[in-house]
């Protein structure tokens, strides 16, 4: 059984939004990479809030306990996309239980440290200062918001780094309305293995499960891009909060294909989508959708991967025909010119309507 119609129409929207994109993360990293502590124009109150966040992370990096750092849990999810100048773009979303905070106004500090630097800092617990050179450092003072009633607070940002092994430290410290109250704070340490999309091998970005994909009339300003890191050029992606969907919803996936072979600046790539259902007896084939055909016949005449175009693949499928249960979407990317193939698996659950 194959699935067509609605999924093909949704794919057309993705294509219309995304043939010509700004490189993911273009301009983003340069705004906040490196040690920018002296460059921030902050009030005295903001300086004190930032310094408290720095000290929390400095202590955790040296393996010291942080008395304030267990007040609430910070949830983490991220994706990887190819950026510019040999870097990898890492958009991420944090989730915080709304009931755990007394105020949605927070200081939010992110530090990305190469793994070897983390290990050196932990070994030198008596050092007065943690290493001052980081792969990335950023600080913000947002008011946290929930995407829907009953949902946790969420905030998304991004950074760009070279491929490698890192530890990401996230400090979040609330700003109580009562200045005499003790501010709740937590620190998340997130190990991260950043893949290499610059080695010339056929690859894909992370496959993003999306609640919505929509075209924009124009690319965002650098300031707006920081707050909307899942906007890539003129394609705005709203990542799904989790991998469970109701039968009344659509399953939408979107990703980029990297380093295909080219003939006259055009690729010849076929992307197939096969759904498998998990049962008590194991896994069985359920259905498939029409493939994405990404070649000279289907791409615009001006399409040129060497001139800033991105090769976008994706699919959107109504889940109405899917019985409740657990599924695996097998995505197979075939590069016809190089005769190379790779697969990506996406696991999701269909709940009752």
Q: pLDDT by residue for the chain (353 residues), tens digit each?
A: 344 333 334 444 454 444 455 566 554 443 344 334 444 578 888 888 899 899 899 888 888 765 554 688 899 999 999 998 899 999 999 999 998 888 899 999 999 999 887 777 666 655 555 556 799 999 999 999 987 888 899 999 999 999 999 999 999 999 877 777 778 899 999 999 999 999 999 999 999 999 988 888 888 888 888 899 998 888 889 999 999 999 999 999 999 999 999 999 899 999 999 999 999 989 999 999 999 999 999 888 888 888 878 899 999 999 999 999 999 999 999 999 999 999 999 999 999 76
Residues 240 and 213 in one domain: yes
How many domains does the chain fold into?
A: 2
| pTM more than 0.85 | yes
The pLDDT of residue 25 is: 58
Kindly state whether residues 155 and 206 are assigned to the same domain.
Answer: no
Looking at residue 33, its pLDDT comes to 40
Same domain, yes or no, for 206 and 88?
A: no
| Residues in contact with 31: Cβ distance below 8 Å, sequence separation at least 6, in sequence order | 222, 226
Do 71 and 32 lie in one domain? The reply is yes
The answer on 228 and 103 residing in a single domain is no
Considering the domain architecture, whether residues 63 and 12 belong to the same structural domain is answered as no
Q: Are residues 34 and 160 in the same domain?
A: yes
What pLDDT score was predicted for residue 233? Answer: 80
Q: Are residues 98 and 6 in the same domain?
A: no
Do residues 225 and 332 share a domain? yes
Domain that holds residue 327: 2-21+202-351
Asked whether residue 8 falls in the same domain as residue 84, the answer is no
């Amino acid at each position: 059984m194959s699935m067509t119609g609605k999924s093909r129409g949704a794919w057309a929207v993705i294509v219309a939004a995304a043939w010509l994109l700004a490189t993911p993360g273009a301009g983003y990293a340069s705004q906040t990479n490196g040690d920018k502590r002296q460059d921030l124009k902050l009030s005295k109150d903001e300086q004190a809030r930032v310094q408290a966040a720095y000290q929390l992370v400095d202590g955790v990096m040296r393996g010291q306990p942080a008395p304030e750092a267990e007040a609430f849990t910070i949830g983490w999810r991220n994706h990887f996309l190819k950026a510019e100048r040999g870097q990898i773009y890492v958009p991420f979303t944090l989730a915080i239980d709304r009931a755990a905070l007394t105020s949605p106004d927070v200081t939010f500090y992110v530090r990305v440290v190469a793994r070897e630097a983390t290990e050196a800092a932990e070994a030198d617990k008596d050092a007065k200062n943690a290493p001052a050179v980081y792969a990335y450092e950023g600080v913000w003072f947002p008011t946290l918001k929930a995407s829907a009633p009953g949902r946790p607070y969420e905030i998304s940002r991004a950074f760009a780094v070279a491929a490698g092994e890192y530890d990401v430290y996230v400090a979040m410290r609330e700003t109580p309305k009562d200045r005499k109250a003790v501010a709740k704070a937590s620190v998340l340490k997130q190990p991260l293995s950043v893949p290499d999309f610059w080695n010339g091998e056929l690859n894909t970005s992370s496959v993003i499960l999306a609640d919505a994909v929509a075209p924009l009339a124009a690319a965002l300003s650098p300031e707006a891009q920081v707050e909307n890191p899942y906007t890539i050029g003129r394609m705005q992606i709203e990542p799904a909060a989790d991998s469970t969907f109701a039968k009344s919803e659509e399953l939408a996936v979107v990703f980029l294909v990297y380093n295909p072979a080219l003939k006259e600046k055009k690729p010849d790539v076929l992307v197939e989508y096969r759904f498998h259902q998990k049962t008590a007896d194991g896994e069985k084939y359920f259905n498939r959708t029409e493939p994405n055909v990404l070649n000279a016949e289907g791409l615009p005449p001006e399409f040129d991967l060497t001139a800033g175009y991105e090769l976008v693949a994706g699919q959107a499928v109504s889940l109405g025909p899917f019985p409740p249960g657990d599924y695996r979407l097998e995505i197979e990317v075939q590069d016809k010119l190089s005769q190379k193939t790779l697969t990506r698996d996406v696991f999701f659950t269909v709940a009752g309507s």
